[in-house]
Amino acid sequence: MKLKSMPSLRNKKRYVTFRVHSERPILYSSMRGAVTNSILNWMGEEGFSSANIRIIKNLWDAKVRTGWLTCPPSALDDVKMSLALIHQIGDDRVIFHVLRVSGTIKSGKKKISLGKR
Amino acid sequence: MKFYDYCVFDYADGMPGMAAELGWGGLCLLKDGPAGMGKIDPVKGLLIETEKVQNVKKEAVRNRKRFEIIVASGLNEDVNRAAVETPEIDILVTVEGARIDHVMVKLAAKNNVALGFDFRQLLHSSGVQRSRIFSRMRENAKLVKKFRAPFVITSGSVSEWDMRAPFELTAFGRLLGFEEPAIKEALSGKMIENNRKKLGGKWVQPGVEVE
């Protein structure tokens, strides 16, 4: 049985879409490791746990190197900063570029395809 | 709205393409770069990096009419002080987020010298060093806010891999304690527009222009 919290007690969340610019293809596992480490370094363990940040595996697109993560609205700036502070994955130099912040996956996808911020 | 990166310390071939992809409208090149960069507006800048106080004003006055933006990089406190006392200088970027006091911030506000917050100093540091630099930057930002001194947020890039998008730098600005409209103004091309007007030849003094 899947446990669900009451709708009124659920925390608000935002979906952050980002693109990884790099010279070579990036694996999901290495991207995930880099993002987690950077957020842990910037926000600390306490901040990371209270923010309840999740990287969505199904939405990682290895071809265009775009990924999605969820975080509460209050932690948005810290998450953006943590992503911006990643400059290397393994030996490859990378840039994490936040494309869009949205309330739902559907609206995020729609706005990315329209090229809006 | 066009965003400008005011401190690009070195030019690399991949920069214009990456800048366009990240959403920049213009780059201020502090070392030699190409005259045209496609969609990106190239801004001619000068970096004054000296340990001698007397050289700051001399260099700034001599080069004012040749460059659109003049940036001073303070290697010590005396140079920082000399830079904020010189109205010919547009931006002062402190090394490793070195602290500046209220007197210097007041002078910067009076002489319209913008204080630069360089993202690269955080990007290439880690652990205790990064936290110290960020805490110094926060202290400086508090003073800048209090005395309403102009400021800019820059990526301080030396290669295309150091560049960050304007919206990431906006998040950096918000974490420093600045308000959104002030950050947008800091990233806009207002300073360049004013300086281009002054260098155009028709400008005499604020409010007076020759037709």
pLDDT tens, residue by residue, A39-90: 999 999 999 998 889 999 999 998 889 999 999 999 999 999 999 999 999 8
> Residue B97: pLDDT above 70?
no
Residues of B in contact with A93 (CB under 8 A): 161
B137 vs B99: CA distance, rounded Å: 8
B49-to-A37, A76, B71 alpha-carbon distances in Å: 35, 36, 9
- Chain B contact probe: residue of A95, A99, A102, A116 with most B CBs at under 10 A: A95
Higher pLDDT, A15 or A111: A15
Is the minimum CB–CB distance between B204 and chain A shorter than 8 Å?
no
Residues of A in contact with B18 (CB under 8 A): 21, 95
B chain contacts of residue A94, beta-carbon cutoff 8 Å: 161
Q: Searching chain B, which residue's CA lies closest to the CA of residue A85?
A: B123
Phi-psi category of residue A97: left, alpha or beta, with phi > 0 → left and psi -120 to 50 → alpha: beta
Minimum CA–CA partner of B170 in chain A: A77
Instruction: Identify whether B38 is part of a domain.
Output: no
Nearest to B22 among A41, A80, A97 (CB): A97
Task: Check: CB of residue A71 under 8 Å from CB of residue A16.
Answer: yes
**What CATH number should be reported for the domain holding residue B182?**
3.20.20.140
Q: Is residue A3 included in any domain, yes or no?
A: no
Predicted pLDDT of residue B35 = 73
B68 located within any domain:
yes
Residue B147 lies in a domain: yes
- C-alpha distances (whole Å) from A31 to each of A40, A65, A67, A106 are 14, 10, 9, 23
Q: Which domain holds residue B123?
A: 47-154+161-201
Chain A nearest-CA distance from B83, in A, is 29
Domains identified in chain A, total number:
1
* Domains in chain B, number: 1
Task: Give the pair of three-digit tokens for residue B52.
Answer: 């001698």
CA pseudo-torsion sign A41, A42, A44, A45: negative
Q: Is residue A48 part of a domain?
A: yes
pLDDT tens per residue, range B27-36 = 998 887 777 7
Q: Which residues pair with A101 in a beta bridge?
A: A16
CA distance B26 to B152: 14
A116 Cβ under 8 Å from any chain B Cβ: no
- Establish if B167 touches chain A: CB-CB under 8 angstroms: yes
Interface contact B167-A80, CB threshold 8 A = yes
Residue B189 has pLDDT above 90, yes or no: no
Non-local (6+) Cβ contacts of B194 within 8 A are none
B120-140 burial: b if 16+ Cβ within 10 Å, else e: bbbbebeeeebeebbebbeeb
Give the model's pLDDT for residue B32.
78
Q: Say if B189 falls within a structural domain.
A: yes
Cβ(B209)–Cβ(B200) below 8 Å: no
Structural domain for A90, as ranges: 11-114
Looking at the domain assignment, is residue A21 inside a domain? yes
Residue B6 lies in a domain: no
Contact A81 B175 (CB under 8 A): yes
DSSP structure class, residue B113: P
pLDDT of residue A101: 94
- The H-or-E segment that residue B154 falls in is strand B151-154
| Phi, psi (deg, nearest 5) at residue B150 | -70, 150
Q: B32 vs B183, which has greater pLDDT?
A: B183
Contact across the interface for B161 and A78, Cβ inside 8 Å: no
Residue B82 in any domain: the answer is: yes
For position A33, which CATH number holds?
3.30.70.3250
Q: What is the mean pLDDT of residues B48-74?
A: 89
Give buried/exposed letters for B39-74 (b at 16+ CB in 10 A, else e).
ebbbbbbbbbbbeeeeebbebbeeebeebbbbbbbb
